[in-house]
Amino acid sequence: MERVKCLIIGAGPAGYTAAIYAARAGLKPVMYTGMEPGGQLMITTDVENYPGFPEGIQGPEMMEKFKEQAARFDTDIRYETITKVDFSGEIKKVWSETGHEIHADTVIIATGASAKWLGLESEQRLMNQGVSACAVCDGFFFKGLEVAVVGGGDTAAEEALYLSKICPKVHMLVRRDQMRASKIMQERVKSTENIIIHWNTETEEVLGKDEVEGVRVVNNKTGEKTVLPVKAFFVAIGHKPNTEFLDGALETDSAGYIIVQPGTAKTSVEGVFAGGDVQDKVYRQAVTAAGTGCMAALEAERYLTEKGLA
Ligand code: NDP
The residues that are catalytic are 134, 137-138
What is the DSSP-derived secondary structure letter of residue 26?
Answer: T
Residue 171: how many CB atoms within 10 A of its CB?
25
Thinking of the domain 2-114+239-306, which architecture would CATH place it in?
A: 3-Layer(bba) Sandwich (3.50)
The per-residue pLDDT string of the chain (310 residues; one tens digit each, 9 = 90 and over) reads: 999 999 999 999 999 999 999 999 999 999 999 988 998 888 777 888 899 999 999 999 999 999 999 999 999 999 999 999 999 999 999 999 999 999 999 999 999 999 999 999 999 999 999 999 999 889 999 999 999 999 999 999 999 999 999 999 999 999 999 999 999 999 999 999 999 999 999 999 999 999 999 999 999 999 999 999 999 999 999 999 999 999 999 999 999 999 999 999 999 999 999 999 999 999 999 999 999 999 999 999 999 999 999 8
Dist. CA 7–CA 63, nearest whole Å: 19
Ligand 1 pocket, Cβ-based, cut-off 6 angstroms: 118, 150-156, 158, 175-176, 180, 237-239, 281-282
What is the CA(290)–ligand 1 centre distance, in A?
Answer: 24
Domain 117-235 in the same topology as domain 2-114+239-306: yes
pLDDT digits (tens, 9 = 90+) for 140-152: 999 999 999 999 9
- Domain spans, the chain: 2-114+239-306, 117-235
Q: What is the pLDDT of residue 40?
A: 86
Q: What is the pLDDT of residue 81?
A: 97
- pTM value is 0.83
Q: Which of 104, 88, 113, 103 is nearest to 22 (CA)?
A: 104
What is the CA(157)–ligand 1 centre distance, in A?
Answer: 9
Q: Which of 117, 237, 259 to mutate to test the pocket of ligand 1 (most atoms within 8 A of CB)?
A: 237
The CATH class, in words, for 117-235 is alpha beta
Nearest CA to ligand 1 atom 16: 237
Q: Which of 117, 118, 175, 278 to mutate to test the pocket of ligand 1 (most atoms within 8 A of CB)?
A: 175
What is the CA(132)–ligand 1 centre distance, in A?
Answer: 16
Q: Which of 59, 38, 42 is nearest to 50 (CA)?
A: 59
What is the DSSP-derived secondary structure letter of residue 92?
Answer: E
Alpha helices, H only, the chain: 13-24, 59-72, 121-125, 135-138, 154-164, 183-190, 286-306
Q: Which of 142, 85, 108, 149 is nearest to 9 (CA)?
A: 108
pLDDT digits (tens, 9 = 90+) for 79-127: 999 999 999 999 999 999 999 999 999 999 999 999 999 999 999 999 9
Please list, in sequence order, all residues whose beta carbon lies within 8 angstroms of the beta carbon of residue 114, skipping any fewer than 6 positions away: 40, 239, 240, 242
